[in-house]
Chain A
């Protein structure tokens, strides 16, 4: 940016004087934004500086210049650690399952809710469907564990339908874990994620449906040929955003639903970083994991965005 000239008498370039003038004129706007910009710098940007730890043998007691620099040593040992590949497998498996199910189910739900003509019923179902979104993962994990326990509702139902002879130990078997996490996520967020689609559906012109009715299209066909294409843009935008967050799936669900019996399936990148980085005090190693995670996320986001740009250019018929 240009510097402000302190000497008022000297001939100042018009632009620079204009800037100083503007700063004074917009002092309230600056006062209302700059403190928070500094705030975000501390809490959102300073942690990025912490990435330097990944290239050091970080010791908490030492200053920045006294740290021992080790280059890509930690990344090397990360790629040599067999646990890393297990963790990466779990992360990718749960993110893809989450992406596919978390993406299609809310759309289907929105289409179904959109078909309800009875307004009070529609409102009631929507209100109910938002409920799990607002409760914490701690509560959801407790509820899921309760429902899936050997005397829980799910086993009771399966037993009474004679589908199984003995209760299934859902929470104790690693092979169930990914499905439980995905299903819990759907249970919690389906209604909430449908909000945007329902809003987009409300914007579709009723004349389209009328024309289809005149042509004798059934309601299934109306949903397929009018409702779905009508929310296409919304679907694409949300898809790109979810791809950007694909491997940043967090760790809350895995932390709260997991237990030592299923740890081979529940360990994800963030938990891995937490266990090694804080649990064992290997801060540098943990930082390397975090850094890798962020880097992959950004690459995925840029790829998805590039894909979208090409698609949106080609997709105008």
Chain B
């Protein structure tokens, strides 16, 4: 209680010691609970599939093999999925970055005549959305169903991203722009030569968000391109495999993978695809950590 903990030094340090134990126990548990599933999936994906059926694989493979990976890459959908996923990640990220940086630059300029309009107009899109069905009808009316464009075009302008970059530009000294103007630079030159090079940390953050978003989406493939085999994505392939065996909800989509299932157990296939889908992210995100932590903080101030 309050009186007992403040009376003597020994009781205080005793309660602090208990607190320390609680802190480190929680951290230990969080680390285990977060990492164990990934290590378990990795171990099973590298383990012989008939051996895996016996169960009991923890964080290391019992009978090491690369067969599971060979099997999934023998299936054409994986290769197409990989190509489309990479393509949409690159194109979607670049387009999104260009749009966000330019919009952020314009709304950061206090003298811009459209500033108030553009920022309100963008902010509204964060809270009002037409919903799934109207969006689907729109895509259909624009003849975008069954095309690659549904992956990259709709998400180009994102208000959240614009506001994160805007906060970053607001933190740069305005004198930089003024002195460039005195040297005769126009607004485009100021953006391209002065602002953009300084935006690297913000662009790294937003680029990571955009890339992860692109890499991880599956629903647009399911909704708009479910029938177009040449436009399948990795996440969608994984989704089909996971759903087809756990529930049989989507047996129409799952059928393609059934011949693969005959060769190795479905469990091993699932784990191997899961790793293929996850590894690129695991490799990239720790290196961008200092950027996105800052980006999140900036976004919360203004967004």
CB-based contact A125/B6 at 8 Å: no
CB-based contact B102/A36 at 8 Å: yes
B202 to chain A, nearest CB (A): 16
Q: Which of the segments B60-68, B71-79, B130-138, B257-265 contacts the partner chain?
A: B130-138
With A39-B99, A195-B293, A196-B300 as known contacts, state yes or no: A53 contacts B278, CB within 8 Å: no
B279 to chain A, nearest CB (A): 10
With A43-B153, A134-B285, A196-B296 as known contacts, state yes or no: A125 contacts B106, CB within 8 Å: no
A296 to chain B, nearest CB (A): 12
CB-based contact A138/B277 at 8 Å: yes
List 20 extra interface pairs beyond A40-B125, A53-B137, CB under 8 A: A31-B188, A39-B99, A39-B156, A39-B157, A42-B138, A43-B157, A48-B130, A116-B23, A125-B31, A130-B285, A134-B285, A136-B217, A145-B246, A218-B15, A218-B16, A256-B242, A256-B243, A260-B247, A290-B130, A301-B127
Q: Which of the segments B33-41, B86-94, B168-176 contacts the partner chain?
A: B33-41
A-B contact pairs, 16 of them (CB 8 A): A32-B102, A32-B105, A43-B155, A47-B130, A53-B133, A58-B137, A60-B140, A127-B286, A129-B30, A131-B38, A136-B216, A147-B37, A216-B5, A219-B20, A287-B133, A290-B134
A163 within 8 A of B: no
Tell me the chain B residues, 45-88 only, with Cβ under 8 Å from chain A: 55
Question: Which residues of chain A come closer than 8 Å to B242, judged between CB atoms?
Answer: 138, 141-142, 145, 256
Question: Which residues of chain B come closer than 8 Å to A46, judged between CB atoms?
Answer: 130, 138
A134, B33: Cα distance in complex, Å: 16
Question: Which residues of chain B come closer than 8 Å to A12, judged between CB atoms?
Answer: none
| Contact for B187 among A26, A51, A187, A270, CB less than 8 A | A26
CB-based contact B130/A127 at 8 Å: no
CB-based contact A44/B285 at 8 Å: no
CB-based contact A36/B157 at 8 Å: yes
B212 within 8 A of A: yes
Tell me the chain A residues, 165-199 only, with Cβ under 8 Å from chain B: 171, 187, 190-192, 195-196, 199
CB-based contact B113/A131 at 8 Å: no
With A115-B19, A196-B300 as known contacts, state yes or no: A131 contacts B239, CB within 8 Å: no
CB-based contact A33/B103 at 8 Å: yes
B31 to chain A, nearest CB (A): 5
Ordered nearest first, which 5 A-B pairs have the shortest CB separation?
Answer: A290-B131, A47-B130, A50-B134, A136-B216, A28-B187
* Interface, chain B (partner A; CB < 8 A): 2, 5-6, 9, 12, 15-16, 19-20, 22-24, 26-27, 30-31, 33-38, 40-41, 55, 99, 102-103, 105-107, 109, 111-114, 118, 121-122, 125, 127-138, 140, 142, 153-157, 186-188, 191, 212, 215-219, 223, 235, 238-239, 242-243, 246-247, 249, 270-271, 274, 277-278, 281-282, 285-286, 289, 293, 296-297, 300
A312 within 8 A of B: no
Q: Which of the segments A65-73, A76-84, A92-100, A272-280 contacts the partner chain?
A: A272-280
Interface of A, secondary structure class, is: helix
With A113-B27, A218-B16, A259-B249 as known contacts, state yes or no: A40 contacts B134, CB within 8 Å: no
| Contact for A273 among B99, B132, B216, B297, CB less than 8 A | B132
CB-based contact A220/B289 at 8 Å: no
Q: How large is the interface on A (under 10, 10 to 19, 20 to 34, 35 or more residues)?
A: 35 or more
A131, B284: Cα distance in complex, Å: 11
A217 within 8 A of B: yes
A309 within 8 A of B: no
CB-based contact A294/B128 at 8 Å: yes
**Chain A CB within 10 Å, residue with most, of B12, B107, B155:** B12
Closest to B31 in A: A128
**Chain B CB within 10 Å, residue with most, of A40, A51, A215, A283:** A40
With A28-B188, A33-B118, A125-B30 as known contacts, state yes or no: A219 contacts B16, CB within 8 Å: yes
A109 to chain B, nearest CB (A): 7
A23, B113: Cα distance in complex, Å: 8
CB-based contact A146/B23 at 8 Å: no
CB-based contact B187/A29 at 8 Å: yes
| Contact for A199 among B99, B129, B153, B297, CB less than 8 A | B297
CB-based contact B37/A143 at 8 Å: yes
**Chain B CB within 10 Å, residue with most, of A33, A42, A47:** A33
| Contact for A291 among B24, B114, B131, B215, CB less than 8 A | B131
CB-based contact B113/A50 at 8 Å: no
CB-based contact B216/A135 at 8 Å: yes
A93 to chain B, nearest CB (A): 21
A174, B160: Cα distance in complex, Å: 36
Closest to B109 in A: A29
Question: Which residues of chain B come closer than 8 Å to A135, judged between CB atoms?
Answer: 216, 277-278, 281
A158, B219: Cα distance in complex, Å: 35
A4 within 8 A of B: no
